[in-house]
Structure formats: structure tokens, C-alpha cells
Structure 1
Amino acid sequence: MTAQLFLIFLLANAAAATTGIVFRPGAWYAGLRKPGFTPPNWAFPVAWSLIYLLSAWAAARVAMLPGAGLPLALWAAQVALNTLWTPLFFGARQMGLALVAILVLLVTVGVATVQFWRLDTAAGLMLLPYLAWLCVALALNWRIWRDNPAAG
């Protein structure tokens, strides 16, 4: 793995993360009914920082291997889908559309994880925290959408 590749993949993740700066949760989100399993606010930046670092490292490892085309295409697709969720949920307040986006994101990351795993077991393992966090985020998105029908 080269440091240059890692930095390029990390840059793509940083671009996705900027949507969280532009579309902040704010008072609207604070006023929504949330389920008991909602992580504390401090957990979101910690989790996403770890996920972005690990996924960039995993992509850099895979990029050096023969057969990396499909896995890296899936990685690029997940960055695009990841970038889409925040403006849908917090910006447009379209919780139903955000739910569809995160479901497609979860499937994409799941398939990417399998593809990464086939090329490099360590790279596949690095995506498992991402899958776990997306499961929580999907459940959270669904429950907030369900429990706040007039908030969108």
C-alpha cells in the first residue's frame, strides 16, 4: 500500500464528510423523537472518523491487487451514496428518501466487503465496522422516520 493511495482515498472520504459540516443536525434533529438505542452525539464523529480511516486504508490495500476494478468501483459508489444521505436527511428532511439511500448504501458496502475480502482478508475486515455502524444508522433512520411522521 502506498501512502499516496491512502491519502487519495482518505480525501474522497473527507469530501463525503463535509456534508456533515454543511448540513448540521441542529434544532430540527434535536426536537425529533428518537429510539432508546440512539448513540450519544459524541459517538457519531468518533465512529465516522474510524470508518473513514479504515475504509481508505482498505481501499489503498486493494487498489494494489489484480482484480481490484469491481471492488474499487463499489468503493466509489459507497462514497457517493454516503455523500447523498446527509443532505437528504438533514438538509431536505426527506427521511424516507434517506432511508432508501442508506439501504442501498448498506447493500453496496456489504457487496464491497465481500469483494475486498476475496482479494485481501484484512481489507475486508476493515469494512466490518462500517457495516455494523450502517445497521445502527439504518435502524435509527427508520425509527425516526416512523416515529416522526410530520417532521419531514
Structure 2
Amino acid sequence: MMLYDQYKDQGLQIIGFPCNQFAEQEPGSSSESESFCQINYGVKFPMFSKLDVNGEAAHPLYDFLKKSGPFAGFDETDIQAKLLKLMVAEKAPEWLHGDAIKWNFTKFLIDAEGRVVRRFEPIDSIDEIQESIKQLL
């Protein structure tokens, strides 16, 4: 959460949406998810109600995010990308292709006008994310 603390005075706002669509990693209630994140990860940013990000019940926000920030593909030269692709193929093959959210912790950087600037996958480094935030702020 140092990233949030470092940039919140410059206008950075982080928000989280728990989702249980990925190997049932968020089985509890929304408030249980929020407490878990606060206790175990020091989350200080707002956590919203659990929602679906893929499929017919996907929340409209995530339909917008996926359309505005499409999936860039798996970098087959990166071992982490290969492992993510294998895991998605095993656990949720219907999300392997297209712009579906591939796994938990996919992030979207959105500017002050509500435009998606960049989509980050779970394997993207914090340094990549931080550099994009710096450029935007």
C-alpha cells in the first residue's frame, strides 16, 4: 500500500472490487473480504461489494473496463505469462481468449476524465504500474 500512500496527495485513488470467480478465492461476504484485505495486506483504499467481472452476470463497470482496456495478450517469452496462461486454461478456459479478466488482481489505470489509460495483468510488476501512475499524474 506504499504506492497508494505515496501518490494519494497527488490525486491517486485506488478502489477494489472483490470477485469470487477465480478459484473461489473470495468465498466470504463483501465485508469479510474487506476485513481480510485490511488485516492481511494493510489495504487503506475503499473496497466495494463483491461482483462478477466475467460472464453474463459481469458488472457493467467491468464490461466498460474490458472494452476500453482490452487484453494485450500473453507474452510467450515471459515465464510468468506462460504460467498465468496455463492456470487460466486449467481453471477457467472460457476466459483464455478475448478481453475477459484472466485472474484476480487485474488492474486498470483510469484518468481524471474516466478514460482507461492502461490495463495491468496480475503478473505486471509494481514498477511498471508505478511508472504509468507517475506519467499520468
Q: Do these two structures clear the TM 0.5 threshold for a shared fold by scoring above it?
A: no
- If the length of structure 2 is used for normalisation, what is the TM-score? 0.29
More helix by share: 1
Which has more radius of gyration? Answer: 1
- If the length of structure 1 is used for normalisation, what is the TM-score? 0.27
More strand by share: 2
